[in-house]
Structure 1
Amino acid sequence: MANPQTTADLLTNTGKVFMQKSQLGGGSPMIRGFATNRVLINVDGIRMNNAIFRSGNVQNVISIDANSIQNTEVILGPGTVIYGSDAIGGVMNFYTLAPEFSSDKSQYYFGNVMSRWSSANNEKHFILI
C-alpha cells in the first residue's frame, strides 16, 4: 500500500511523470516534455487548469490531498480529441474517495485512521483500516 507524502510523490513513484519540485516542496508535473500548461489535470472530472496560463510550470498538484485519492490515471500522449486542446502532453485524472452511507438506520460507524509524524530526516506513519 503506497503512502506518499504529497500527490507529487505519488506521481513520481509511477515512473511515467517527471516532477519539478522547485517551489518549496511543490510539484509541477511534466509529461512527454510538456509543462503543466499543456498537461490537463482533472479531479473527479473537473478541470483544475487550462492552457490560457503563461507558459511553463505554473500549476502544481500538491493542492490535491494525497490521502483523499482513491485512484489516479495518467494518460500519456495527446488527449486533445477527448479532452480538448489543453491536453497536448497528456492527462492526469484523480478520483477522490467516495463516501459510503449506511443503508439501514444502525448506530454503527466505520472509518479509517491515519497518523503521520515527520521531520526533515525522519518519518513515522500509522494506518488503521
Structure 2
Amino acid sequence: MTDTDALDPSVPPSGTGCVECDATGGWWFHLRRCAACGHVGCCDSSPSQHATAHWKATGHPLVRSFEPGEEWFWDYDGDELYESGPELAGPASHPVDQPAPGPAGRVPADWAESLHG
C-alpha cells in the first residue's frame, strides 16, 4: 500500500453493518470497511454495492474486509488486493454471530438470485 493518506488506523468502524442498508432496511452479502473514515458498506456482490459507491462519492480508495477472520485490503484506485495491512481500530469485523448474508431477519429467502457476479 503506497497511499498512506488513504488510511487512518485510529478511526473505528461506523457500525456492525452496512450504513446505508441499515438506514433503508436492506441486506448485504459481505461487508467492507473504509480504511480512511471507517464507513462500513456492503460488497460488490451485494444488491446495493455501497462500499464501491462510498469510494466513488468520497475518493477513499482502500477498504478492508469486515468479515471475521479476514485481514485483506482492496485498493479501488490500483485495482489491487493486499493480503494484509496495518491494524485498524477495533473491532476488526462484524460480530461473529451476525450471519452472512445479513442481517438476520432482513435477508430474503431467494437472496442468492439477487447477488451480483
* Structure (1/2) with the larger helix percentage: 2
Q: Which one has a bigger Cα radius of gyration? A: 1
TM-score, normalised with respect to structure 1: 0.24
Q: Which structure dedicates a bigger proportion of its chain to strand? A: 1
Higher relative contact order structure (alpha carbons within 8 Å, sequence separation ≥ 6): 2
Return the TM-score normalized by structure 2: 0.25
